[in-house]
Structure 1
Amino acid sequence: MKTNIIISLKLTLVLLIITAGLYPLLIAGAGKAAPGGGKGETLSVHGKVVGYERVGQKFTEDKYFWGRPSAVEYNAAGSAGSNKGPSNPDYLATVQARIDTFLVHNPGIAKEQIPADLVTASGSGLDPDISPEAARIQIARIARVRNLGADKLEALVNAHIEGPFLGMFGPSKVHVLKLNMALDELK
């Protein structure tokens, strides 16, 4: 009996050292070695941090490209989806309201032309990317508001398209904050 208790205490001490000491140090070290030193990759303009690489932002002004809607208002501390299915009346009303808002700000676009990623939230609620089609459908509005040529904006969108991971995993995408940063730099 005494032997079993001593073995149990030794095992408990070893596991305590591993799980409460070594493992947290290993994870903290991996975080420090990651891009951004464990604090996230920031995006800056003229030395001022304007956002994060992997967290979307809400853009509602007509002079900017709009990103994907968020069920959590882009709150990284509360990453989540809405958990409402496609037959839920509240969800359908929310999507319809997003469609109506988009159509008001983008006259001349038919409801059927709106890419789904502009009116549906991602699972995390933090998606910083939209599809190239979602960016292109907004060009007419931004060209009108900023008094820029649509061809210039088309070239800007094309320059910001990121291909699939390793050329084959996932869709092509456009990082909205990076695109809007470049948009502000246009003369």
Structure 2
Amino acid sequence: MTTGTDSISFVRQFGAGLRVLLVLTVLLGVAYPLAVTGVSQVLFRWQAQGSLVDASGERVTRAEDSVGSLLIGQSFDDPQWFHPRPSAAGDGYDTLASAGSNLGPLNPDLVAAIEERRAAVADLEGVDPADVPADALTASASGLDPDISPAYAELQVARIAAERGLDEQDVRALVDETTVGRDLGLLGEPRVNVLRLNLALETMGS
């Protein structure tokens, strides 16, 4: 049987819990996000706004001034451009449907898609299918990977030089200049940002 003392104890505990909930909501749900947002906008404004760049490769903070984000892959289909990794996000590079294919390595559909891509890339670049790098055949987990491997960039050099009437060595040097090494010298793999590379390529050809 509940006594008056038990009821008072319950009310006190409920009130204490409610006060803790309200305090934590204000601190962690309002104050902390506002503080992090404020610090990022003051110290890292460009990164906080999405690492956007304009047609000249310069940093911008307004979407209407940009041609894309260095963090998000986009489609480059024309043979005069470096091509990115395949994308399984929606119909391809759909930022509202970021995802991988979720197909296992032995899935017949994935195996067929990889072989189709291998043949297409080998034909486009004029190389042996065995020489096509893995990142030219598979989509990333997000479907929006902005980077490719130096090997895949190198594979595309001859085609792009021919399409643009440039010297292969100049295009190859551009790939080397835009290649980023492992983070801290040991994390991840060397990579080339496709948007940054294509913007530099356009500048070189002008």
TM-score (structure 2 length as normaliser): 0.82
Q: How many residues align?
A: 186
Distance 1:6 1:128 in 2: 51
Distance 1:30 1:124, change over 3 A: farther
Q: Which residue of 2 aligns with 1:169?
A: 187
Q: Which residue of 1 aligns with 2:123?
A: 104
Q: Tell me which amino acid in the other structure corresponds to 1:112.
A: A
Distance 1:13 1:143, change over 3 A: closer
Q: Which residue of 1 aligns with 2:50?
A: 40
Equivalent position to 2:96, from 77, 92, 104: 77
Distance 1:86 1:178, change over 3 A: same
Q: Which residue of 2 aligns with 1:185?
A: 203
* 1:22-59: CA deviation from partner (whole Å, max 9, x where unpaired): 23323432442434263201111258411101111111
Q: Which residue of 1 aligns with 2:81?
A: 64
Distance 1:35 1:165 in 2: 22
1:14 has 2:17 as partner? no
Distance 2:84 2:47 in 1: 27
1:119 has 2:137 as partner? yes
Q: Percent identity?
A: 37
Equivalent position to 1:136, from 150, 154, 171: 154
Q: Tell me which amino acid in the other structure corresponds to 1:168.
A: L
Structure 2: stretches of 5+ with no match in the other structure: 1-8, 59-64
Distance 2:130 2:136 in 1: 12
Distance 2:179 2:194 in 1: 10
Distance 1:19 1:186 in 2: 49
Q: Tell me which amino acid in the other structure corresponds to 1:49.
A: S
Identify the range of structure 1 (29-38 vs 5-14) with the bigger mean alpha-carbon deviation: 29-38
* 1:88-110: CA deviation from partner (whole Å, max 9, x where unpaired): 01111221221222123122x00
* 1:76-130: CA deviation from partner (whole Å, max 9, x where unpaired): 33321111111001111221221222123122x0011000011111111111111
TM-score (structure 1 length as normaliser): 0.90
Q: Which has the larger radius of gyration?
A: 2
Cα RMSD over matched residues? 1.9
Deviation >3 Å, runs of 4+: none
